[in-house]
Structure 1
Amino acid sequence: MSQIEQAIIESDYPFPPKPTPLNEDEKAQYKARIKQLLIEKDAVLVAHYYTDPEIQALAEETGGYVADSLEMARFGRDHSAKTLIIAGVKFMGETAKILTPNKTVLMPTLEATCSLDLGCPVEEFSAFCDQHPDHTVVVYANTSAAVKARADWVVTSAIALDIVEHLDSEDKPIIWGPDRHLGSYIEKQTGAEMLMWQGACIVHDEFKAKALKDMKAVYPDAAVLVHPESPANIVELADAVGSTSQLIKAAQTLPNKQLIVATDRGIFYKMQQACPDKEMIEAPTAGSGATCKSCAHCPWMAMNGLQAIESALLDATGHEVFVDPELAKQAMIPLDRMLQFAANK
């Protein structure tokens, strides 16, 4: 492992401040203003599963959408609104802009980022790829536009297995980036050998196997649902492994009435909608007595508050997402490969 890759694993990212807490009257006032501004600005609110439940609910109440990063961008592309407000993290706004360059794309805050994005700087990643010019470069959607532009394929967690299996069947050597846990899971499932960039999601990286085993003993009838960005010893304990949308489907189809969920707790909003008769339990992060960094909720996702959404709709300055047209054109190539592959499945 290179010094750069080791440094990425050990990085301690400075976390942003959380939005100022609002009382119920203030929340109601902000929601009313946002609803009016969405109409006035011909805008639609698109939120990720990991944003706070009140933001997801607001998106649904106003004709918007709650989904994973790719479906967010697809919805924005196909919606008639001239302006998209993307409640998520920066790479999601960039992906939306790449797919819909003709629309105005706003974010509640451009400072909302992702440890996978931060842990995969384009210069270092490009140098890593240049050392292996015969390899096909596959990157997870949780990366910057610049990293996507350097890749041959972009994948989401929902389709990564199928695409890597396809590439492996053609005997193509693969570079995978940036999430090492998701990459290791795919490598194990497909048998493909991949050169791995050593990034990690700070939320999923914190789930602890011993604490999860202890929790399973307390809830012996509960099923364990795990996102594959989690460490391998967490995945091994799972009854279902999958992307955010796949975990929501698993929650519906599994017979268990209690579900221990190892992903960002923001997903509970849609999961509870899908199966209101079931109990959702957060998988343990740092274990008893320890101090966790993220406690099963992304600190950057938490920046998507009502005040920030109103601010973006009132004045786009400092909120609008821009992607260099040439860079967007390059990034669209691997994105389009994935979309075409998915369409032909």
Structure 2
Amino acid sequence: MNTTPSLQRLAREPSVTALDRARRIQRIKKLLVERDAVLVAHYYTDADLQALAEETGGYVSDSLDMARFGHEHKAKTLVVAGVRFMGETAKILNPEKRVLMPTLEATCSLDESCPADAFGAFCDAHPDRTVVVYANTSAAVKARADWVVTSSIALRLARHLAARGEKILWAPDRHLGDYVRRESGADILLWQGSCVVHEEFRSQALLDLKKRYPDACVLAHPESPAAVLALADMIGSTSAMIEAARTRPARRFIVATDHGILYKMRQAAPGKEFLEAPTGGHGATCKSCAHCPWMAMNTLATLETVLATGGPEIHIEESIRQRALEPVLRMLEFAASAKTEVLGLGNA
């Protein structure tokens, strides 16, 4: 299993002048038109990429909405600014479209923590369980699943399956799975994966920050450890967190997820203050410092290159794609029927 990318691989692109940056953005816009391409970007990518997606008729959202938007858009080419499983999900849904990514090295610690062969053996050892995998997994792992979920529908799906008397095998995020198990009461067997960003939030440091800002509302993503979630005023998916920032009366928020989301939060709630939840304190290693190292690989430079050269491109073996398609479609259908786009996971 790979570890987090080295500092050398993650070095940001060299500083450029404002004029050079503007020229690069204009060239990207021109190339998107020439390639009949649309840009979809995750909330955790750089603000420049999110703004560019919005300006060019693309989309910025969580992985569920990214997949849905790409499936429904008429463009022949999808450019996915995010991590590799997001590009694979787009290809699963759109085999006839070209799916490009700024880099295929942008993977995910959850994806890497759940290799397909080991996961298959885990499933074989528990044949009586319904297999539910988080979207943050490879196409090969999705192909083994009965259901794919994102954080926005995880709790509702667990309650739905529990009501049908089904026992669940959950992978890969143990913190999200544990939260869903506690809240739903479902019988859930957990795979032991975690997100390198959310794993680093520290409850004692968060408590200290809450004491400094007693008026602050704490928003937390459920991939965070249970001790962090216990201090949250609201627990939810990325989309639900943005909605909470917009609608809650608090003027100051402490945000326990990747700091890339602050672009959309400030856009949704101008005039409010957003503080990053601490990744320092006792026991901290700051492997992420609240930003996914793989998301950081998506830059204007890598985006320009992929549009100019036509690669790298996502390819999935057709037999795997077909098997993965069924649980992905099931996810989209369940999300649509449950109308969970902005409901999130609930409040602490």
How many angstroms apart in 2 are the aligned matches of 1:288 and 1:129?
A: 36
Name the aligned partner's letter for residue 253 of structure 1. T
How many angstroms apart in 1 are the aligned matches of 2:107 and 2:296?
A: 11
- Contact kept? 2:175, 2:226, Cα under 8 Å: yes
For normalisation by structure 1, the TM-score amounts to: 0.94
- 1:174 Cα deviation after fit: 0.8
How many angstroms apart in 2 are the aligned matches of 1:287 and 1:25?
A: 40
1:215 aligns with 2:206: no
- 1:295 Cα deviation after fit: 0.2
1:196 aligns with 2:190: yes
1:331 aligns with 2:324: yes
1:297 aligns with 2:291: yes
The correspondence for 1:26, drawn from 13, 20, 27, is: 20
Classify 1:289/1:326 alpha carbon distance in 2 versus 1 (closer, same or farther; 3 Å).
Answer: closer
- Contact kept? 1:18, 1:299, Cα under 8 Å: no
Instruction: Indicate the residue corresponding to 1:48 in structure 2.
Output: 42
How many angstroms apart in 2 are the aligned matches of 1:132 and 1:86?
A: 35
- 1:237 Cα deviation after fit: 0.4
- 1:81 Cα deviation after fit: 1.1
Task: Name structure 1 gaps, 5 residues minimum.
Answer: 1-7
Instruction: Indicate the residue corresponding to 2:59 in structure 1.
Output: 65
The correspondence for 2:166, drawn from 172, 186, 195, is: 172
> Segments of 4+ in structure 1 off by > 6 A?
none
User: Could you tell which deviates more after superposition, 334-343 or 43-52?
Assistant: 334-343
1:153 aligns with 2:119: no
For normalisation by structure 2, the TM-score amounts to: 0.94
- 1:25 Cα deviation after fit: 2.4
Deviations along 1:235-263, one digit per CA (max 9) or x if unpaired, are 00001100000000111121110000000
Question: Which secondary structure state, in structure 2, belongs to the residue aligned with residue 50 of structure 1?
Answer: coil
How many angstroms apart in 1 are the aligned matches of 2:5 and 2:337?
A: 42
Identical residues among aligned pairs (%): 61
Name the aligned partner's letter for residue 323 of structure 1. I
1:311 aligns with 2:302: no
How many angstroms apart in 1 are the aligned matches of 2:57 and 2:332?
A: 25
How many angstroms apart in 2 are the aligned matches of 1:67 and 1:305?
A: 17
Aligned length: 335
- 1:288 Cα deviation after fit: 7.4
- Contact kept? 1:173, 1:193, Cα under 8 Å: yes
The correspondence for 1:113, drawn from 92, 107, 115, is: 107
Instruction: Indicate the residue corresponding to 1:235 in structure 2.
Output: 229
- Contact kept? 1:173, 1:194, Cα under 8 Å: yes
Name the aligned partner's letter for residue 59 of structure 1. A
- 1:138 Cα deviation after fit: 0.3
How many angstroms apart in 1 are the aligned matches of 2:13 and 2:273?
A: 29
- What is the root-mean-square deviation in Å for CA atoms of aligned residues? 1.4
Instruction: Indicate the residue corresponding to 1:4 in structure 2.
Output: none
1:285 aligns with 2:276: no
Deviations along 1:158-211, one digit per CA (max 9) or x if unpaired, are 001011111111111110000000000000000112110000000000000000
How many angstroms apart in 1 are the aligned matches of 2:198 and 2:93?
A: 28
- Contact kept? 1:46, 1:86, Cα under 8 Å: yes
Question: Which secondary structure state, in structure 2, belongs to the residue aligned with residue 150 of structure 1?
Answer: coil
